[in-house]
Structure 1
């Protein structure tokens, strides 16, 4: 007779396994705190035992709370020079924004018009962007300039403002990473502002992955969402009317 093997899906075991582990942590901590007659021992043991399986979730939570509560405010040191129409001269977003090309390996007139519609209201001359396209099973990357407000294209001219992105070393590199952005005035070499992007890594080689049925899906579900203040700094620095900030 053919043999049958009953396999329980891993997702069905996730809840009972983790509830059993957490209950055991509470029970052992409670018993020992009663033996030593100390409530402090209960909390120390409980946190220590739970950290065996969930320490990285705790650390990621506190890191995110720290940045959200203390680091989201503006890090603007100088405001850029703007013309009477409250537009900056020119801007380079190379390696910051990668524009996917839809039709060829260069920007079409339609795509240039789409870019102009977005940026002409706060940039006077031109914007430099990174582009990429897929052709012959490979990725073709390039840097392209879009002239704005009917200005003639001058490829020799350097963008007045640029943004640099660097990957910074963190205290817990296996748990999270940090990109730092610098908004630079290339004429004065002043750093106008800084911004950040915090992202949280997923590691599937932990105690809970081996014994508590945490697969990659659960790791992604309980991982912290990335946070950044780049968009906020960009908007305040380049898009908002400086006359409003001076009131």
Structure 2
């Protein structure tokens, strides 16, 4: 007969091992991902502690925090002991982390290479399940004036309004543009449509003395640069 596992509540752990106390006295850096998430949810279920529950949740996404951030509240609630409040708390924390990455990238607002443009946009569109097309507007020093979502579409593609791009460029005084969109499929190969819209925007912008400096195709972990591949 299989012996039933008995839960050992965190309140019965030694104080030095409890996630909250451990963070307070030893610093947040020493906590595991599971312990940090356990602090968020506060409690586990009758069969496992909050840490054990969070270890199980993380194991379901191969201990990848980016993948954890993609789980919906409905998917999180499939784990025993995770109700709506806990699921929303986890989802909110993951979104704050994503926005923090975006804020850190924005601080490095001078675009010096395709890599710096990727670092600016990846936290915004790199992990989306649908396609979005964005424009980064730059001044003469290649500093970011503004970045705008131009369109949002399905996984198969999105619509781009050239007139709207150039109208906004004139309004903000941009002299350079970087185009960026994501491929939810993960492929970095530019499509015929990607090439066509790049060419169309480049030609239209030239008439206004505005340069299209690059077009990035962005996935979760990598990117394709039209400029680096001499396609501009």
TM-score by length of 1: 0.23
Query: Relative contact order: is structure 1 or structure 2 higher (C-alpha 8 Å, sep ≥ 6)?
Result: 1
| Higher strand proportion | 1
Name the structure where helix makes up a greater proportion of residues.
Answer: 2
TM-score by length of 2: 0.24
Q: Rg: which structure is higher?
A: 1
